[in-house]
Structure 1
């Protein structure tokens, strides 16, 4: 039973056209996740890129990934990620136990993230694990023209806030059998806390891209 990495990368990005092949620090965006998977070959048996785009396909092959041809029907803006993962598993002709989802829009990951997370995933026999980070901002909502604090009271110090966390997108590990049931994060999934500046990078705009470039230059 294998552990595989799947990198879903469709070609139809609208806010930042062709972002998955845009050069980040000299390499296509998608290549950063492929290379990260290759650095963890002691955990990952095979690396797959699921895509509907010829340019992404060719770049992924150049960097040593295998290709899953994603049908157009599963490549729309509103299509959930799990449909691409399920489609990939249905095309792979080997027995897969664990799926590691690496989103290309989260190209920067702490070096030991996967090792530490996978050790816990296996030791505790979890069905699913995903990475989270603590938020330190003061949130509120608008009610008419009034701002209503959500996680604090006016005047409260930031360091005294009740901890809130966000799904940072850096890493997901899930049993293949769950994905075949259209589930990535079940209710009992283990939230693996990652407090690293890389958790703030999720590329959707040119500004996000430039921020990632800056962090790479500072952490290389």
Structure 2
């Protein structure tokens, strides 16, 4: 049975025009996820890019990924990611595909050993899906009727004493293909794999996100 990687990369982007082919470092943004998948060839059998864009398709093929042309009907702003994943599985011979690894193009920086560690946990925990999370140390609250009400702390409480809260960082997801065919990426028994790494803070959606990601990439290269 196979494990495949799917990288959704549509052409439309309102906040950053042509976001997925903007140069990040020295390469188009989508290429970073393709190369990451290739570096994990001992786990990933095939790499697919799902796109509705001719330029993204050209770049993906140039860097060795297979491309599935995504219909306009499932390429809109409000379309859930699972639609693209399901379409890929329905477009290929997926009878022998057991696992799908979702790599988002908007998360170009990932710890080198992350996939090996998460896939090992995925198999050891015997779950049907896994996603990466990061602990948040901020103090949250709600503003209702112009009044601030703390959500995860009490006024005066130290940050280090907060009850742990985590956020879905988007670095990667691993899911049974059978779940995706039923429109599910994160199942009820999904394993939350904790990643406390600076790369977990990078998820490109706005120009400021892009600049922050470039800063983190440069910082990492200088330290390396």
When normalised by structure 1's length, the TM-score is 0.99
Instruction: Tell me whether 1:137 sits opposite 2:138 in the alignment.
Output: yes
Mapping for residues 1-220 of structure 1, pairs under 5 Å = 1-94=1-94, 95-220=96-221
Distance 1:92 1:99 in 2: 13
Please give the alpha-carbon distance, in whole angstroms, between the structure 1 residues aligned to 2:83 and 2:188. Answer: 19
Q: CA deviation at 1:135?
A: 0.3
Distance across 2 between alignment mates of 1:204 and 1:15: 7
TM norm structure 2: 0.97
How many pairs were matched up? 220
SS in 2 for 1:11: coil
Of 14-23 and 89-98, deviating more is: 89-98
Q: SS at the partner of 2:73?
A: helix
Q: Gaps spanning 5+ residues in structure 2: where?
A: none
Deviates more, 1:175-184 or 1:85-94: 85-94
Query: RMSD across aligned C-alpha pairs, in angstroms?
Result: 0.7
The alpha carbon displacement at 1:123 in A equals 2.1
Query: Following TM superposition, where does structure 1 have runs of at least 4 consecutive aligned residues deviating by more than 3 angstroms?
Result: none
1:3, distance to aligned residue in structure 2 (A): 0.2
1:186-211 Cα shifts (integer Å, max 9, x gaps): 11000000000111111011111111
Q: CA deviation at 1:106?
A: 0.7
What is the alpha-carbon distance in structure 2 between the residues aligned to residue 194 and residue 33 of structure 1?
18
Alpha-carbon distance, 1:124 to partner: 2.3
Cα deviation digits, residues 132-185 of structure 1 (max 9, x gap):
000000000101111111000111110010000000000100000000000000
Rounded Cα–Cα distance in structure 2 between residues aligned with 1:188 and 1:49:
27
* Secondary structure of residue in 2 paired with 1:60: helix
Structure 1 residue 126, shift from structure 2 partner: 1.3
Once residues 206 and 142 of structure 1 are traced to their aligned partners in structure 2, the CA distance between those partners, rounded to angstroms, is: 27
Runs (5+) with no aligned partner, structure 1: none
Question: 2:124 & 2:133 partners in 1: Cα distance?
Answer: 19
Q: Deviations over 1:36-66 (max 9, x none)?
A: 0000000000000000000100011111100
